[in-house]
Structure 1
Amino acid sequence: MRTWLTERFDLTVPLVGAPMAGVGAGRLAAAVSAAGALGMFGVPAAATAEWIREQASVAAAPGRPYGIGLMAWALPGNPAQLQAVLDARPAVVSVSFGPYESYVTELRQAGITVVTQAGTTEEALAAERAGVDAVVARGAEGGGHGRADVATLPLLEGVLDAVRIPVLAAGGVATARGLAAVLAAGAEGAWAGTAFMGCEETTISPEAMRRLLEAAETDTAYGRVFDVAQRLGWPVEYGGRALRNAFFDRWAGREDELAADDSARADLETARRDQDFDTAFIYVGQGVGLVRERRTAADVVAAFAGAEKLLNRFAR
């Protein structure tokens, strides 16, 4: 399975462990990279430059390429994040969700491969015009934040037809079957987050892990409820997909009211501290029904490598 992704970063599996802020830090990124894929960690909006440096050091420890994910909307309020990333010199930086264009040149001049996530074909075309090295076609099935306008397969088809730069596929790719499918379509690799959420190397609490492993494919919901309750500055076009719970059901469709309700905000903060996931959130994609047990990141990467056998059926 040799693709642009494997050749550029000397990988054995054309797979990226998505940068999941708050779920996978340097330890998970290091484990994914050591196993032959490309590990990444996501930077929370309030993360300090020191935190980035610490996690980058952990991610770099195996001596393999790794990446860092930045949220473009958060950078103006925390410019030290960008400098810390430039100092760390990861192999890849994903900068998405907001006005990312002004950061592309500086990152590329530092020798860093730059990618961005796109939820529509027009966003992918804009990314190509902005000069990124590759674009991630992220469908509505994906966990965490992004658009929910187009599902992964029609989005991937449209983006592959529209752009000339390498394309990675994200959203619902959780097993070797998913990886084989997007490679067969023409993607250079998959961008997977939910598949790694059951890993021992994540920062997920025991109670969150229990909920995650018990969840079915129909147990997620998409919206802005949790962002509005926390008063986060996410652009309105990027909601989040998480496990559905009582707090989401209570406030979905009432986001304007929620934005002014300080007691609801306090309830969410308390629930996060107390690990009460009837109120607190667990961001995860529709592939969660395929995550049934605790595994190591190496086990997950090895399972994805089974895509080669599936693809060989047609190569014959």
Structure 2
Amino acid sequence: MTRTWLTTRFGLDVPLVGAPMAGVGAGALAAAVSAAGALGMVGVSATAPAGWITQQAEIAAGGEAAGSGGGRPYGIGLMAWALGDNPGQLDAVLAARPALVSVSFGPYDRYVEPLREAGIVVATQVGTTDEARAAEQAGVDVVVARGAEAGGHGRDAVATLPLLQSVLAAVRVPVLAAGGVATARGLAAVLAAGAEGAWSGTAFMGCAEATVSEAAAARLLAAGETETAYGRVFDIAQRLDWPPEYGGRALRNAFFDRWAGREEELAADDAAGASLEEARRAGDFDTAYIYAGEAVGLVRERRTAADVVAEFATADKLLRRFSGG
């Protein structure tokens, strides 16, 4: 497989990071992705206790509960806006010392030096070229150029390909590409453009190791490429303090369509928030949310993380085909 900064720095076989997905990607998925030769990550929700991080980090690192993690490197993803109210999350991450920590979406710069001093590689996700420049100035080790196609939270400002090209020209630190990269073809494309690897979440959502219910998995596998929507509806209904510039991309459903454009009204409607929580518990995804990117149309079957990574690894054949190798 093509060698890049990412593969060399972390001893990977494939230049690929399994993106941190709160509520979907815990220690088992991170361990499985890492064991397959990519870099798995644990996604930390805003309210996750420090003890949960410690437990999932042990699993991701290949502890007994992980089965066959094999001690491969792994990463953890944090939400910068949530750390002020939950400082124990950072303490737990520093104690776990994962190979990589992504801290994004909010005032992340204050956390860069403590993480680097602990010997941890620091990444942040950016949605514009100006954000990439600011991240380089803040001292991050690697920038993740996250396009608007990506699932979950981030900016809806620029698509992956134009963003990647601009960021690569603007910064000197390594750059990973995120948003819409779900197959070997996508990985080959961003490597050919100059990225050091891909950062992929949606491709792993259908994996057996992901913490996704059968009902949610069925909905994901049936969804097409045009069936996502971006906005703040689900955050407002849950009274989450996400900065307003970071909406979320999720599968479009009846709840989203009902409230899109009526966010101020939704903010005052406690019954709507209660119905969302009830639907989440009941597995009713006409109301409950499933965050996913536009690449969801490429996810068509339940597979293991090893199978997904193995398919990504065939990107090398595509690169050789077009390079004459």
1:198 CA displacement: 0.7
Q: In structure 1, what is the equivalent of residue 168 of structure 2?
A: 160
1:247 paired to 2:218? no
CA distance in 1, matches of 2:43, 2:304: 19
Q: 1:212 aligns with which of 216, 220, 225?
A: 220
CA distance in 2, matches of 1:4, 1:273: 42
In structure 2, give the amino acid aligned to 1:263: A
The root-mean-square deviation of aligned C-alpha atoms, in Å, is 0.4
Unaligned runs of 5+ in 1: none
Q: In structure 2, what is the equivalent of residue 20 of structure 1?
A: 21
Q: Percent identity?
A: 77
Unaligned runs of 5+ in 2: 63-69
1:86 paired to 2:87? no
CA distance in 2, matches of 1:254, 1:134: 38
CA distance in 1, matches of 2:280, 2:302: 22
CA distance in 1, matches of 2:24, 2:77: 12
1:104 paired to 2:151? no
In structure 2, give the amino acid aligned to 1:27: A
Q: How does 1:119-130 map to 2 (within 5 A)?
A: 119-130=127-138
Q: 2:233 aligns with which of 222, 225, 240?
A: 225
Q: In structure 2, what is the equivalent of residue 68 of structure 1?
A: 76
In structure 1, give the amino acid aligned to 2:35: A
For residues 196-234 of structure 1, what are the alpha-carbon distances to aligned partners after superposition, in whole Å with 9 as ceiling and x for unaligned?
001000000010000000000000000000000000010
Q: In structure 2, what is the equivalent of residue 257 of structure 1?
A: 265
1:191 paired to 2:192? no
Q: In structure 2, what is the equivalent of residue 56 of structure 1?
A: 57
For residues 35-75 of structure 1, what are the alpha-carbon distances to aligned partners after superposition, in whole Å with 9 as ceiling and x for unaligned?
00000011011000100000000000120000000000000
CA distance in 2, matches of 1:36, 1:182: 19
1:91 CA displacement: 0.1
1:314 CA displacement: 2.2
CA distance in 2, matches of 1:46, 1:109: 25
Q: Secondary structure at the match of 2:125?
A: strand
Q: Secondary structure at the match of 1:77?
A: coil
CA distance in 2, matches of 1:266, 1:65: 40
Q: In structure 2, what is the equivalent of residue 181 of structure 1?
A: 189
Q: In structure 2, what is the equivalent of residue 6 of structure 1?
A: 7
Taking structure 2 as the reference length, the TM-score comes to 0.97
CA distance in 1, matches of 2:314, 2:155: 29
1:286 paired to 2:294? yes
CA distance in 1, matches of 2:183, 2:273: 36
In structure 1, give the amino acid aligned to 2:219: R
1:315 CA displacement: 2.1
CA distance in 2, matches of 1:270, 1:198: 23
For residues 21-43 of structure 1, what are the alpha-carbon distances to aligned partners after superposition, in whole Å with 9 as ceiling and x for unaligned?
00010000000000000000110
1:151 CA displacement: 0.2
CA distance in 2, matches of 1:233, 1:31: 32
Q: In structure 2, what is the equivalent of residue 36 of structure 1?
A: 37
Q: 2:244 aligns with which of 236, 239, 261?
A: 236
1:301 paired to 2:309? yes
Count of matched residue pairs: 316
CA distance in 2, matches of 1:259, 1:109: 41
For residues 80-130 of structure 1, what are the alpha-carbon distances to aligned partners after superposition, in whole Å with 9 as ceiling and x for unaligned?
000000000000000000000000000000000000000000000000000
